[in-house]
Structure 1
Amino acid sequence: MKIYHIIQGINNLSAGTTVSVGAITHNLTILGNEVFVVATGQKPKEWPYLGSLKLFENKFTKIGLLSIGDIKTIRSEMLSGEAVVHGHGVWRIMNLMPLIIPKKAKTKIIWSPDGMLSEWSWNYKKYIKRPFWYFFQKPALNRVDCFHATSLEEVEDIRRLGFMQPISLIPIGVEFPEIENLAPQKENKLVFLSRIHTKKGVHLLIQAWGQIANEFQDWSLVIAGKLDSDYGKDMVELSKTLHAPRISFVGEVLGDEKTKLLSSARLFVLPTFSENFGIAIAEALAHGTPVITTVNTPWQDIQTKKCGWYINNTKEELVNTLRNALSLHSNQIDAMGINGRIWMEQDFSWKKLAGKMQKTYDWLLNGGDAPIEIIEKQS
């Protein structure tokens, strides 16, 4: 099967969508498919995934656009035979690709909003987004044959905006590190690892840490993520203004460094305002690290699985939860981490989820009975 994954860019390997696209293309290739990643911009310093890259980089892509020649090339490639186009995200030029594929083409289109249709995202910079939505993005998404959602919350976001196409409900997977080979020692270290963006609630975390840090002298806070935005720089200044002790900003971490950081941490925290999935949460659990996150993620099961805390994203609740969590004996926290690792191994392996995705693709191309993951079209 020929499969094209469409994404705006892949140069940021710390971005959740980039990681998930790389992982799914890798595992679909292992299953015997011919898989391509089509994106704008530069190739990242490392790309540890199978599958072919088709990257477009020129004066147009540097300002977020495509040339007419690029569009013709992409269109010709995707219409060269029977294929599946799987797009990721909204609000960018690559997210308008359904508009260039005729409805009668053999090519079938499935689209993953990747959390960008949530109410938080919908209202963030809404005065810029609304015109783009009605003139370009909505017509493009009306063209797709099927959506892919990673959670029931994302299914609701898709339906809320009036899209009635079938939806394939398949979560994002996670890679499982060989923690035993690294033999790390768990430390009293609270780790945040994600994009440094206001959506992720880093300001709440720094404020909460500043309030409780002196009560837990043997704990430290590590914030991992690129600091190249104004918000990132503001967070560094906020930590200084609050005189928050034992807090370190380590920048972007990838590969073995990420594995070492997550597996050596005793707790992981993501006080986010909106997530369709939250791959960093799954990665932390896979590394045997319990998680504190918010009701704005689809991770309510961390409570029933006894591997974390699921809270409202207010500073007060974050302070109380951190105080309770850090007061536990290390053996209690580490036992929660083991619970999370077992859960991830059972339900979130990329190999298993890639197989489910391939069944969706087969159904789109060939028809027949819908896979169990499909939520049927509504009239």
Structure 2
Amino acid sequence: MAHLSRKSGGVFEAVAGLAPALHARPGVEVGVYGLDHPALDRDRLSERDVPARAFAVSGPAAFGYAPELGRALRASPPDLMHVHGLWMYPSVAGMSWSGRRMPYVVTPHGMLDPWALAHRRWKKQLAGLAFERRHLRGAACLHALCASERVAIRAAGLVNPVCVIPNGVDLAREDRGSEPPPWRRQVPEQARILLFLGRLAPQKGIPDLLRGLVSARAEVSSGASQREWHLVIAGWGEDGYRDELQRLVGELELRDAVHFVGPQFGDAKARSFAVAEAFVLPSVSEGLPIAVLEAWAARLPVVMTSRCNLESGFEHGAALRIEPEPGNIAVGLRQLFALSDDERRAIGARGAELVAQRFSWSGAARDMEAVYRWVLGRGERPDTVDLS
């Protein structure tokens, strides 16, 4: 993978969940190689006995050239390699390792979706010409997180086998902690909390959420029993983008109702879910967001777009559907605000049931191991693999 850090967002969360679950399966040994980062975090892996190595980057961090990574891969004895993410040096290192005719699997993590390809298009076109197209075409199997990502992979012109296996969630996180997070003191005691937790990036749709919140709050009744909703934005990203969001909050006169509380990891994340009444993700592009699964595991109702690729959440009655534009987001928020406490709890309970049934890391590891064995010629083609 790229940076071995929680700052890598959903890619790191996916690796930190899948690798230990695979490592726990009989006859499977897993190691994680990644790029060094100022916020390096190997604890999630090492505490579950998964060896993890981080290699120093030379040159621009956006590409992540790490010559020692390539050398370490070529000197290592794996049967198979699984590459998470695109557009960076790990793709090049993976192809070099595979020069020995060893197979590899690639998970794009939504990076081939149309919006993602259009964002900073010229850089991705250059990377595609230089190495990424060759890397993707050489994969023994591509891993889609959902059916719509499989469609995007095919639309990108790739004809490799594709397996569809969703992300999971650590069900232990359903224990939501007892102490409130430190940021809770920033929010009025009686406020209801709508939580956004994730990377602060354009694809997350936060500006549209803020504009939708203005409209939704303007129409909420001010009866004596109505507590005011506050939006808590827990995340990390480029300082410049966070500054843009904070300026927009000021322009929309939302400073009293929107709180930027910084990244929340580990126990702080569990506490943040524990004090929230609902979770929102207004993304315009996603692979399959682990944050939504974590919110469901914490028994929270979710407000999300169809671009989150979790249609089962709507089918199961665990989420309210919104589209990534202010007017529609406002409609969804008004629906949420009008729910009774019992109705919100019922939606959250259905989310917890859904996660337990369909989104465990142990199930993802079982299915992924079957793909690995098929790629290596040690098993039949699993039902998760599509050849068309």
- TM-score of the aligned structures, taking structure 1 as reference length: 0.90
Equivalent residue for 1:162? Answer: 157
Given the alignment of the two structures, is residue 54 of structure 1 paired with residue 22 of structure 2, yes or no? no
* Conserved 8 A contact 2:6-2:41: no
CA distance in 2 between partners of 1:370 and 1:12 (Å): 34
Superposed, 1:292-371 pairs within 5 Å as 292-371=303-382
Secondary structure, in 3 states, of the residue corresponding to 1:346?
Answer: helix
The CA RMSD measured in Å over matched residues stands at 2.2
Given the alignment of the two structures, is residue 188 of structure 1 paired with residue 200 of structure 2, yes or no? no
Superposed, 1:99-178 pairs within 5 Å as 99-102=95-98, 105=101, 107-177=102-172
Moved more, 109-118 or 27-36: 27-36
Shift of 1:135: 2.5
CA distance in 2 between partners of 1:207 and 1:121 (Å): 23
Instruction: Please tell me the residue identity of whatever aligns with 1:373.
Output: T
CA distance in 1 between partners of 2:67 and 2:35 (Å): 14
Instruction: Please tell me the residue identity of whatever aligns with 1:18.
Output: F
CA distance in 2 between partners of 1:22 and 1:158 (Å): 24
* Conserved 8 A contact 1:227-1:251: no
Shift of 1:368: 3.8
* Conserved 8 A contact 2:373-2:379: no
* CA shift in 2, pair 1:147/1:181, >3 Å: closer
Given the alignment of the two structures, is residue 75 of structure 1 paired with residue 74 of structure 2, yes or no? yes
Instruction: Please tell me the residue identity of whatever aligns with 1:34.
Output: E
Given the alignment of the two structures, is residue 98 of structure 1 paired with residue 94 of structure 2, yes or no? yes
- TM-score of the aligned structures, taking structure 2 as reference length: 0.88
Unpaired segments of 5 or more residues in structure 1? 1-6
CA distance in 2 between partners of 1:277 and 1:87 (Å): 17
Shift of 1:152: 0.6
Given the alignment of the two structures, is residue 24 of structure 1 paired with residue 40 of structure 2, yes or no? no
CA distance in 1 between partners of 2:66 and 2:339 (Å): 57
Given the alignment of the two structures, is residue 37 of structure 1 paired with residue 32 of structure 2, yes or no? yes
Equivalent residue for 1:234? Answer: 244
* CA shift in 2, pair 1:177/1:260, >3 Å: farther
Secondary structure, in 3 states, of the residue corresponding to 2:324?
Answer: coil
Percent of paired sites with the same residue = 24
* Conserved 8 A contact 2:212-2:328: no
Instruction: Please tell me the residue identity of whatever aligns with 1:234.
Output: E
* Conserved 8 A contact 2:175-2:270: no
* CA shift in 2, pair 1:187/1:345, >3 Å: farther
Selected match of 2:202 from 198, 203, 207: 198
CA deviation vs aligned residue, 1:101-155 (integer Å, no higher than 9, x gap): 34553x3200000000000011111122212212311011111111111101111
CA distance in 1 between partners of 2:66 and 2:347 (Å): 51
Shift of 1:284: 0.7
Selected match of 1:213 from 207, 214, 217: 217
* Conserved 8 A contact 1:187-1:264: no
Given the alignment of the two structures, is residue 224 of structure 1 paired with residue 234 of structure 2, yes or no? yes
